[in-house]
């Protein structure tokens, strides 16, 4: 157990020692929100936005946009405003053409291990596929799928453990029933129960700890990907199908675009089936435990519905892509194990 804790700590160490995504706040320490889209702005973005309203909000709240590279260069040169000092000491603002510096993995100053190793490379991949497909919604989906494929060997093992657990359930239920009426405070009795359960785990190749440990292995990458999304303004400035990626469903629906309601409902449905597929094979030896699992599934789905109304469409699309991949993965694993 100590060894597992050390592994988890090492995986989370870069996140603990270096900076994460910071919400942009005004002089009253309140989060800055783009009133047009409903998006909470990120302070430490890795490349500059092009939306004029967004630029004004950043400049108003002390973020030096002109020091950042462009997310994507659409031409070799760009026009920028430069302040020149005249011979008489007065200052004059002029417009000049300068080479366009697009974002790369090495752009900007060093910002800690977490940003250097995880955030910037992932941001670069999103921008690469967004530029390649000429749509950052597609770029986001492609990158999401690539990450899930990369993590597939780990998530496959977790799904297989669930299938093994499903086969072991009848025997585990018998053991639970066998010891249900015995003294639960008797250490000898509980030791016998544990030994019998361990024999069943061994018989069906179940490792109760591995599922949790494997989840921690993928956690840093998934957290980093969410941060990379939030730190690339270009993602939130475009449309995907009928939806603006930076707009929250709350604002979209209020403006009369009910496609935002559709995406929220789809996210809710896929979350429900994804979470249910993950939890239904857990040990549920009696009606009370089954009711608790169902209640957890329902509560989690409701929570996601509420959150999705206030999340940007880009994050909803990421969540939807992840859910669909999880559902497909579980179906694939079950089909192969039959």
The model's pLDDT over 157-171, given as tens digits with 9 standing for 90+, comes to 777 777 777 788 888
Instruction: Pick the more confident residue, 143 or 93.
Output: 143
Short-list 253, 276, 260, 269, CA closest to 315 = 260
DSSP-assigned letters across all residues of 208-228: TTHHHHHHHHHHHHHHHHHHH
| Weakest mean pLDDT among 73-77, 114-118, 264-268 | 73-77
The span from the CA of 227 to the CA of 220, in Å, is: 11
Chain position carrying tokens 């657990």: 165
pLDDT (0 to 100) of residue 186: 76
Q: How far apart are the first and last CA of the chain?
A: 33
Residue located via tokens 């040169």: 77
The DSSP element (H or E) to which 328 belongs, if any, is helix 313-337
Burial class (CB within 10 angstroms; exposed 0-12, middle 13-18, buried 19+) of 168: buried
Return the H-helix or E-strand segment holding 5.
Answer: helix 2-17
Domain ranges of the chain: 2-69+104-164+200-337, 74-103
What pLDDT, on a 0 to 100 scale, did the predictor assign at position 289? Answer: 64
pLDDT tens figures, 18-40: 457 888 999 889 999 998 899 99
**What is the pLDDT averaged over residues 197-219?**
74
Round to whole Å and give the CA distance between 319 and 300: 14
Per-residue pLDDT band at 1 (split at 50, 70, 90): very low
Which residues, at least 6 apart from 298, have a Cβ–Cβ distance to it below 8 Å? Answer: none
Tell me if the pTM is above 0.75: yes
Q: Residue-wise over 276-290: b if at least 16 C-beta within 10 A, else e?
A: bbbeebeebbeeeee
- What is the mean pLDDT of the segment spanning 43-50? 90
Tell me the per-residue pLDDT of 103-153, one tens digit each, with 9 for 90 and over: 888 887 777 778 888 899 999 999 999 999 999 999 999 999 999 898 888
Given CA atoms 203, 204, 208, 210 in this order, what sign does their dihedral have? positive
């Amino acid at each position: 157990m100590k060894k597992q804790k050390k592994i988890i700590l090492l995986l989370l160490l870069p996140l603990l020692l270096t900076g994460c995504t910071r919400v942009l706040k005004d002089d009253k320490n309140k989060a800055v929100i783009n009133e047009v889209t409903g998006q909470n702005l990120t302070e430490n973005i890795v490349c500059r936005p092009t939306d004029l309203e967004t630029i004004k909000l950043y400049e108003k709240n002390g973020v030096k946009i002109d020091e950042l590279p462009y997310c994507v260069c659409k031409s070799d040169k760009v026009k920028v405003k430069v302040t020149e000092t005249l011979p008489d000491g007065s200052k004059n603002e002029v417009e000049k053409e300068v080479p366009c510096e697009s974002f790369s993995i090495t752009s900007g100053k060093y910002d800690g291990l977490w940003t250097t190793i995880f955030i910037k490379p992932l941001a670069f991949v999103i921008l690469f596929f967004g530029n390649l497909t000429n749509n950052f919604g597609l770029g986001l989906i492609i990158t999401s799928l690539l990450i899930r494929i990369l993590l597939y060997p780990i998530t496959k093992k977790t799904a297989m453990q669930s299938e093994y657990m499903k086969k072991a359930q009848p025997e585990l239920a018998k053991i639970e029933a066998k010891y249900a009426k015995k003294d639960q405070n008797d250490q000898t009795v509980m030791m016998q129960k544990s030994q019998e359960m361990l024999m069943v785990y061994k018989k069906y190749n179940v490792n109760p700890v591995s599922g949790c440990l494997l989840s921690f292995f993928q956690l840093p990458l998934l957290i980093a990907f969410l941060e990379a999304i939030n730190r690339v303004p270009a993602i939130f400035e475009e449309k995907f199908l009928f939806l603006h990626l930076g707009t929250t469903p709350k604002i979209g629906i209020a403006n009369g675009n009910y496609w935002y309601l559709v995406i929220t409902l789809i996210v809710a449905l896929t979350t429900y089936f994804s979470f249910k597929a993950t939890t239904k094979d857990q040990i549920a030896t009696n009606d009370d435990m089954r009711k608790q699992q169902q209640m957890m599934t329902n509560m989690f789905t409701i929570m996601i519905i509420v959150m999705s109304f206030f999340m940007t469409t880009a994050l909803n699309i990421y969540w939807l892509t992840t859910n669909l991949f999880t559902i497909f993965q579980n179906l694939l694993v079950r089909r192969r194990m039959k």
